[in-house]
Amino acid sequence: EETETILSVSGMTCASCVNGIERHVASLDGVSSVKVDLMTAQATICHTGQLVTADILRAAIEEMGFDALVLS
């Protein structure tokens, strides 16, 4: 079923960071929506619990050079 995961993302300094994370995470199988907010430094991601875990999302963002922490 669909799960919503919220992560704290540090290291984002411009709108291109936001777009890059949104595009990268959205390309993952099982991810249905991604919203990244620069001001709150949070990513809100809807995904299937079967294909994508919160830790996979965290790792995908960290691979891009940001620090990410699963909040909920």
Which of 1, 10, 13, 72 binds ligand 9UX (CB under 6 A)? It is 13
Interaction residues for ligand 9UX, span 35-64 (CB under 6 A): none
**20 or 30, CB closer to ligand 9UX?**
20
| Residue 43 near residue 11 (C-beta atoms within 8 A) | no
Which of 10, 16, 50, 72 binds ligand 9UX (CB under 6 A)? It is 16
**3 or 8, CB closer to ligand 9UX?**
8
| 17 makes contact with ligand 9UX (CB under 6 A) | yes
CB-based burial of residue 9 (10 Å sphere; 0-12 exposed, 13-18 middle, 19+ buried)?
buried
Nearest to residue 61, comparing CAs of 28, 29, 13, 39? 28
Structure tokens at 63: 């691979």
